Structure 1
Amino acid sequence: MSGRKSTQATVRICGASSLSKTSWVCAFAVPGDNKATAHKIKARDVDRLISILNSSKTKAEHQLSRPLRIVLCYEVGYDGFWLARLLMARGIRTVVFDPASFLMPRRGRRAKTDRLDAEGMTRTLRTWLSGDREVARDVLIPSVEQEDAKRIERERKYLVEERTSIVGRIKGLLALHGIWLNGKRIGKRLLERLDIMKTGDGRPLAPFLRRDIERMLRHYDFVSQQIEEVIAERKAALVDGLGRFPHAEKVQRLATLGAVGETTATVLVAEVYHRSFETRRHVASFVGLAPSPYNSGDTGRDRGIHKAGTKLARQTLVELAWFWLRYQPNSKLSLWWHERFGGMGMRGRKVGIVALARKLAIALWRFVEQGVVPEGATLKV
């Protein structure tokens, strides 16, 4: 009990910031005062923010005649984590909350202003610091290296999607004129074939249509080159020994499993397995593959996965589940899936593949952290 009182004696000034692109609204609540004092400053004016924090602290310490400590919180969003790192480097404890985790009243329409949001967050922070962690969930602030490591595969995914969009647009334009291209890629000789292409009614390509396609083909080549550069940069980062990619050894270990390629391993380590998890349930919950239970009265059922966490990791695990069935057919997980869902229709098989992805997330976590090979799985030679 005495330890709790001591903690509250030093952690008392609760501050919260509502951040937008043009302005920040900061509210501060001192001990014994239920009303928060709000200040509006220019966005990204950190010096002004710290000045207000220090003046609020000095004033409160003078009134209460005891040392106090400032705790500031804000919602993770457009500004990311740079502000939290900067404030912590200045000695200010900073808590970053998940905006989707706040408990909100359900009666009537709730007023919404930056000032009300900031004042409400100060009350939430007070409750959170007192030990009630259900009012909001804090977000783990990653290191610069951990956050930057996610860029490799996120950029590659964005570029691949952009290339796919270019292919779809070219095929769509040609299809409008009765010309059909097969395959998911655009052949290297398509530019040369534009001279001899004939529309469905026997005409050569119209001049504006042709120049449009030529520009898109140049864009296609440029994006393809960027994808190759990103892949080369990833390979170099995993072996350079400079620590540019944290936990590169986990990527190399994970890639030794059959069905797991270097791209998949990089995504999973950068998005998930760089963190520490206490139990398997925490792993499944973090990637959004845990079921959402519904129990009320005599009714009890699961409402499907809650889809929290990183979408890229969840998509990667589902894709990996299909590859696992193909390249690890004798593993216990594959046999379980065939026995449970193999005889169902397409809908049942898709539900089963999500369940397999959840089990894979846990099995791969154990393999990365403890070296436990999934039962029946094979390693690459």
Structure 2
Amino acid sequence: MDATYTALDGQNTTAGGRLYMAFELGEKSWKLSLGDGQRAPSRFTVAAGDTTAVLTAIATARARCHLSADTPVYSCYEAGRDGFWLHRWLAQQGIANLVVDSASIEVNRRARRAKTDRLDSDKLLSMLMRYHTGERRVWAVARIPTPEQEDDRRLHRELERLRQERTAHTNRIRSLLVLHNLRVRHVGGRIWTHWWARQRELLAPGLRAEIDRECERLTLVRQQIRTLEAQQDQQVRSGTHRHGVAGTACGHRQRQRVDAGQGTVWLAAISQPA
């Protein structure tokens, strides 16, 4: 590749004066592609999470490209299950990293690509170089939350999972009951308890025991939901809930919509090119 000039930082800098690194993050291993834009990239496979091996790969690639130890390194990886810890670690090493939105990455329209497919590291490396030589529309860059902002969202995410579990348990109980033409509008509460006490003796022991176990799991999930909702209310009242909701009289349903909306905005908070 010929030396090219970049508009980054308003300076004319050749691609060869930098080292670029792209990660293809897997569950068990990571694939790294590193290059300076002047020669074929160096490729490495390291164990997932092995940051020492990443530093070794950088040093090896620098030597191969005849770059000094203080040559700036620019890296990227696709947003996904690893979250932002890797971004923060790279920043601590003085590496300028980008977390890119997978959905925004250009792909060959003739090659259908499943949403779960990851781009290979060589493709990411090529796009990283293009991005840093002025082609800012090759992808969208994710906004990086602070550790405190990430932690604030844990409670909301757990509540969402628990509510989904609650729905799954109630649906399962209804499905088991309808096998014997037993139909109930609400599962749980005093009315349900009295109704089930009468009906359970009419069912076969195996089915009765399965429904009892589902009821136990449902009770536990509901208790955990109440605990977390009380914690969420306390955060809102005390002002420690950083996503905050104005006033506590809005009620649980409205607060849930606001939180969910902010979560959507957070996930979609991608810096688009100007």
Q: What TM-score do you get using the length of structure 2 for normalisation? A: 0.81
Whether 1:169 and 2:172 are equivalent positions in the alignment is: yes
Distance 1:5 1:164 in 2: 56
Q: Which residue of 2 aligns with 1:126?
A: 129
Q: Superposition pairs for residues 127-206 of structure 1, below 5 Å?
A: 127-183=130-186, 185-197=187-199, 204-206=202-204
Quote the offset at 1:39 in angstroms.
0.7
Q: Superposition pairs for residues 1-381 of structure 1, below 5 Å?
A: 4-6=10-12, 8=14, 12-33=18-39, 35-57=40-62, 60=65, 63=66, 68-107=71-110, 117-183=120-186, 185-197=187-199, 204-240=202-238, 243=240, 245-248=241-244, 251-252=245-246, 261-272=254-265
2:259 aligned partner, one-letter code: T
- CA gap of 1:50–1:246, structure 2 versus 1, over 3 A, is farther
Cα distance per residue 1:285-328 (max 9 Å; x no partner)? xxxxxxxxxxxxxxxxxxxxxxxxxxxxxxxxxxxxxxxxxxxx
- CA gap of 1:151–1:172, structure 2 versus 1, over 3 A, is same
SS in 1 for 2:175: helix
Unaligned runs of 5+ in 2: 1-6
Distance 1:6 1:73 in 2: 22
Distance 1:222 1:2 in 2: 54
Q: Which residue of 1 aligns with 2:4?
A: none
Cα distance per residue 1:10-42 (max 9 Å; x no partner)? 962111011101111101111422x11101111
1:246 aligned partner, one-letter code: R
- CA gap of 1:145–1:275, structure 2 versus 1, over 3 A, is farther
Quote the offset at 1:101 in angstroms.
1.8
Quote the offset at 1:196 in angstroms.
2.5
1:104 aligned partner, one-letter code: V
CA RMSD of aligned residues (A): 3.5
1:272 aligned partner, one-letter code: V
Note if contact 2:20-2:75 (Cα within 8 Å) is conserved in structure 1: yes
SS in 2 for 1:134: helix
Distance 1:206 1:220 in 2: 21
Quote the offset at 1:192 in angstroms.
4.2
Note if contact 1:12-1:69 (Cα within 8 Å) is conserved in structure 2: yes
Distance 1:216 1:274 in 2: 34
SS in 2 for 1:78: coil
Quote the offset at 1:108 in angstroms.
6.1
Distance 1:270 1:3 in 2: 32
Cα distance per residue 1:218-246 (max 9 Å; x no partner)? 111111001001111212233445x5x43
Distance 1:42 1:51 in 2: 13
1:236 aligned partner, one-letter code: Q
Quote the offset at 1:82 in angstroms.
1.2
1:169 aligned partner, one-letter code: R
Quote the offset at 1:247 in angstroms.
4.4
- CA gap of 1:204–1:58, structure 2 versus 1, over 3 A, is same
Distance 2:265 2:118 in 1: 35
Q: What TM-score do you get using the length of structure 1 for normalisation? A: 0.60
Note if contact 1:25-1:118 (Cα within 8 Å) is conserved in structure 2: yes
SS in 1 for 2:230: helix
Unaligned runs of 5+ in 1: 283-381
Quote the offset at 1:66 in angstroms.
9.6
- Report which structure shows greater RCO (CA 8 Å, sep ≥6): 2
SS in 1 for 2:76: strand
SS in 2 for 1:95: strand
1:193 aligned partner, one-letter code: W
Distance 1:197 1:258 in 2: 36
Note if contact 2:33-2:122 (Cα within 8 Å) is conserved in structure 1: yes
Identical counterparts, % of pairs: 29
Quote the offset at 1:204 in angstroms.
1.7
Note if contact 1:10-1:69 (Cα within 8 Å) is conserved in structure 2: no
Distance 1:119 1:19 in 2: 13
- CA gap of 1:107–1:14, structure 2 versus 1, over 3 A, is same
Q: Which residue of 2 aligns with 1:363?
A: none
Distance 2:106 2:225 in 1: 42
